[in-house]
Amino acid sequence: MPELPDIATYLDCLAPRVLGQPLEELAIRNPFVLRSVAPSPREIAGARVTGLRRLGKRIVLALEGERFIVIHLMIAGRLRWLAAKAKPPGKITLALARFPTGTLVLTEAGSRRRASIHLVEGEAGLGPFTRGGLEVLEADAAAFAERLRSENHTLKRALTDPRLFSGIGNAYSDEILHRARLSPLALTRKLDDESVKILFEATRATLLDWIGRLRGDAGAGFPETVTAFREGMAVHGRYGKPCPVCGTPVQRIRYADNETNYCARCQTEGRLLADRALSRLLRQDWPRSIDEVE
């Protein structure tokens, strides 16, 4: 799922293309993608784009008359920018927003349709999409610490909870925790002040670093490859590959459709964290430290 750095890059690249431009048409190719219609697509045709913003992992296009297009890409949704008369992709195209400058295309790979568009009126209409998470890049260390300790969760869960922190998901939480050299299963209320400070600095540094990288990759173009698994990531999606800091093979914890990647030497003092399914299967044969598997 695109996270804060990816959404920020989309917004940066959209700004010179759509700000101040009239929305000529919002064409819905798959009716499932449109979840609310007040106003309707016909009613917003011709309205100029007055602003762009991010709400968590959602992209918001503000139109004249306090009307908003709210786009949630979910897992497989992506945005593409095409020349005005270019032909969009076939089955994966869900919607087209046509402007004089070109066409914004919402696509979604696979058969599961999770991406969505909501059309709403007034700032109050954006309320249901505001989860309340702290914007770390706009917060100070004290606000971060207060939010982190407001509930007792593992660090992995806390960082990815949209009610606690805005825009951070599975991929960048792995990178943040590796940079901070903290276990994903450490509990928030057991973290000392110094560790909370380190985590705050690592969170900001990781997000800013990747925003800079993605903006640099896009250049004057539009993001072509938005993925959770990027070249240059330290641990996320790198199970079995060497940690860039110490060379130890990256480990993982698998659960449902997700996994957490971490370095045992850098983050857990050499301890292997229990994979719920595999550790139950192996029981006493489950290795307890990275030394037992190297």
Burial class (CB in 10 A: 0-12, 13-18, 19+), 173: buried
- In the listed set 84, 114, 129, which residue is the last one of a domain according to the structure? 129
Residues 6+ away with beta carbon under 8 Å from 115: 33, 71, 72, 73, 74, 76, 77, 94, 106, 108
**Which residues span the domain enclosing 109?**
4-129
Q: According to the model, what pLDDT value does residue 256 have?
A: 67
Residue with token string 């370095």: 263
Q: With contact defined as beta carbons under 8 Å apart, do 68 and 51 qualify?
A: no
Residues 18 and 125 in one domain: yes
My answer on whether 156 and 68 are in the same domain is no
Q: What is the pLDDT of residue 84?
A: 85
- Say whether both 23 and 148 belong to one domain: no
Q: What is the pTM of this model?
A: 0.91
207 in the same domain as 70 = no
The total domain count for the chain is 2
User: Residues in the chain with pLDDT < 50?
Assistant: 278-294
Contact 255, 185 (CB under 8 A): no
In this predicted model, what pLDDT tens digit does every residue of 22-62 receive, in sequence order?
999 999 999 999 999 899 999 999 999 999 999 999 999 99
Can you give the pLDDT at residue 151?
95
Note whether 54 and 90 are same-domain residues. Answer: yes
pLDDT at 226: 80
Is the domain of 65 the same as that of 99? Answer: yes
pLDDT value at residue 225: 79
Question: Do 117 and 160 reside in the same domain of the chain?
Answer: no
Same domain, 99 and 25: yes
- Tell me which of 66, 95, 129 is where a domain ends: 129
**149 and 24, same structural domain?**
no
Q: What is the pLDDT of residue 153?
A: 93
194 CB-near residues (< 8 Å, 6+ apart): none
8 A C-beta contact, residue 262 and residue 235: yes
Identify the domain boundary among 94, 129, 164: 129
Do 57 and 160 lie in a common domain? no
Residues 89 and 169 grouped into a single domain: no
How many CA atoms lie less than 13 Å away from 59 in the CB half-sphere?
27
- Measured between alpha carbons, how far is 189 from 178 in angstroms, rounded to an integer? 19
CATH of the domain at 204: 1.10.8.50
CATH code of residue 94? 3.20.190.10
163, two tokens: 């009610």
Same domain assignment for residues 247 and 167: yes
